[in-house]
Amino acid sequence: MTASLRINHLSIMVRDLTRSADFYHRVLRLPEIECKARKPNIRWFGIGDDQSIHLIEGDFGQTYVTMSTHLCIAVTDLDATVAHIATTGTKYGDLARNEGRIYTRADGVRSIYLQDPDGYWLEISEDY
């Protein structure tokens, strides 16, 4: 019998919990959900299907981030999402980092790339 696998959550270390929580809620429009860890330095945000992103404020250390290491969030209406992101003043672009451009991947899926307040890369793509 083969076990069924799925991603439950992604935890990321952040420098400023309030600033990062604002980004994930206001810019990405992720709903804040109950943090069952019940610790003041952790906040949880839902990304659908009982999956979540956990923001943990603490020592960021020597973390090194590149565009190749990113989280991709699929949306049902990329154009509306891009329009919303633009209204927040958040910079986004294509894979070549051309600001304000939408990228079409080799598989035909359109997406954009942006960074959160701590420099983590996010890809927002059409849901396929």
- 17 contact partners, CB below 8 Å, separation of at least 6: 41, 42, 43, 55, 57
Bridge-based pairing state of the strands 42-48 and 103-104: unpaired
Q: Spell out the residues 6+ positions from residue 31 whose beta carbon is closer than 8 angstroms to its own.
A: 25, 45, 46
Q: What is the pTM of this model?
A: 0.90
pLDDT in tens, 47-58: 988 999 999 999
- For the stretch 81-116, pLDDT in tens is 999 999 999 999 999 999 999 999 999 999 999 999
Mean pLDDT of the chain: 94
pLDDT at residue number 41: 97
Name the one residue in this structure whose structure tokens are 């090194």.
Answer: 64
Ordered domains of the chain (ranges, CATH): 9-126 (3.10.180.10)
